[in-house]
Each structure stands twice: as C-alpha cells, then as structure tokens.
Amino acid sequence: MKYLFLILILLINLSCSKDFNKLEIKSVEPPQTAKILGNHIIYISNEKFIHNKQIISEDCESWALNLNFDTPFRQSIKYLIDDIFVNYKISKKKLTKTEIEKNGYISQISFSNFSGTSSFKTEGNTGKYYISLNIKIEVENSNKNIVNEISSNMKWEKNIFLNCNLQKGAVKSSQSALENLIKKSYESSYKSIYQIKR
C-alpha cells in the first residue's frame, strides 16, 4: 500500500511537469513592414542566448520555471529579416568595411548580444515577475556605423493564493517582451539603414 501511494505521487508530479513544459515561448512575426531594396549582408551571432534569472521566492511553483529563449529569439529575427529585405545574404562572420564595399553591399546588419534578465519575488501576498530582453543591432557600410542597444521590459503580478503559476505568468510576459523587442528591432533597423544610405 505504501509503495502504491509513492507511485501515485510520482505520477502526479510527472503529469504536473508535463503541463509546465507545454507552456513555452514561441517565435513572433514582425509587424507589417516596408521592404528595403538593394543587396544587404546579414550577420547573426552564434552566441547562445544568455538568461540570468534571480528567483527569490518559492511561491507560485517557481521551482518549475523553465524558459527557452534562444530558439524563438533566433527564429523571430529570421522572420524579421525575411520581411524587411528583398535581397540579402546571411554571412557566418562579420565583414570588414572594405569587404562590404568590395562585395557591393548597401549595408551590413549584425544581430548580437542576445540576453535576458528576469526576477521573481513575493511582496505581501503578491508574486512579482520581471523580464528584460536585450539585443544589439549594428548597421554599417564602408563609411558609417550605427549601433543600437535595444531592450524590452515586461512584468507580471499575481496573488499567491489565487492559482499562481510562475511558468504561465513568465511565458505570457516574456512573449509580450519578445513581440515588443522585434517591433523595436524593425523600427531601429529600418531607420538606421536609411541613415547610412544618405
């Protein structure tokens, strides 16, 4: 009987874990974008997304928090590139200013420094989650260079006694942060490309 009870508890825990794993961040499509003509070279850093998290409270099942930013982040950038540019090539390395000019590219756009910082704490009866996503976008040609450090911040709060699930709240706020970051990345890239083309 004792063994049967332990097996039952184990099965319940496994089923709960599966439910948590179903909640994940998804890649996002950029807003409706205006196309940019001409040949452009794109560099996307191979560095893995760095997620620094600080979990202070054990409330809201914070032990189950498991977020994967790297894949949806990269896929969202690829969607953005597809929507912005008519003609582009993806490079495995950054080109020098001389190489950009020699190969006839209007611009080189580099996406790097993918990172995120999140924290969770409890104040009174409220669980508070905060997420900040960051990216560096560098737009350059043989003469000019524009560097944009972009961030997107979101928060989520829930009473710890009212079905408080941190994984669910963190995914929801992180998804909104990613959507906002891609929108800002589009606006920044578009503006910077036209600035260096002058």
pLDDT for the residue numbered 198: 73
- Which residues, given as ranges, of the chain have pLDDT below 50? 3-20
What is the model's pLDDT at position 2?
Answer: 52
Q: Report the distance separating Cα 177 and Cα 134, nearest Å.
A: 10
Would you state the pLDDT for residue 18?
42
Would you state the pLDDT for residue 1? 53
The tokens for 162 are 């009212």
Count of CB atoms within 10 A of residue 28's CB?
20
Q: What is the pLDDT of residue 194?
A: 86
The listed CATH number (3.40.50.1000, 3.40.50.2300, 3.30.160.150, 3.30.1860.10) that belongs to domain 41-197: 3.30.160.150
pLDDT of residue 13: 47
In the prediction, which pLDDT does 23 show? Answer: 81
Burial 72-99 (b: 16+ CB within 10 A, else e): bbbebbeebbebbbeebeebeeebeeee
Domain ranges of the chain: 41-197
